[in-house]
Amino acid sequence: MLRAHCPADFHECLRLWSDENVTKYITGRPSTSEEVWGRILRYAGHWELLGYGYFLVEDKFNQALVGEVGIAHYHRDALTSFGEPPEAGWALLPRYQGLGLAREALTAVLSWAEKKGLRKTTCRIDPRNLASIKLAKRLGYEKYDEVTVGDLQSVLLQRG
């Protein structure tokens, strides 16, 4: 199930973003409490200002946190080749990875985004994250560049 974030989600989001298995290919390190709170606020800002953003993914049987998926406009300084399209992203707790949940959630988000006129999206993936690259390709993304952002290598993919 997809839903908007709320302040009460902070501790569950902290659990997600402080898990080294979640962050190793995204930021390269676990997030601090302050960074996670800033992330939740950034999501709220995306929705308020742009009408799209990130969703919290919940287990449909017990409402436990599964992860986050969505699209955002980061205006990354190091990624001028990204141009204007928003960036899709996803992060799931390890126990939910490999079950098809990210694909199911992203398919719904991308379909919704297309109906809102956001047909073209990009994504940035660590080249060692073969599962996410495979998922992106299944969703119709194609590689178009590689860059280094900080200390992290990234494959850039585009869809639409």
Using pLDDT thresholds of 50, 70 and 90, give the confidence band for residue 120: very high
User: Exposed/middle/buried for 95, CB within 10 Å: 0-12, 13-18, 19+?
Assistant: exposed
Q: What is the pLDDT of residue 84?
A: 73
Dist CA 53 CA 42 (whole Å): 9
Sequence spans of domains, the chain:
2-118
Dist CA 119 CA 135 (whole Å): 18
Is it the case that residue 150 has pLDDT exceeding 90?
A: no
Dist CA 112 CA 70 (whole Å): 10
Q: What is the pLDDT of residue 80?
A: 58
Q: List all residues 6 or more positions away from 142 whose beta carbon is below 8 Å from its beta carbon.
A: 157, 158, 159
What homologous superfamily is domain 2-118 in, according to CATH? Gcn5-related N-acetyltransferase (GNAT) (3.40.630.30)
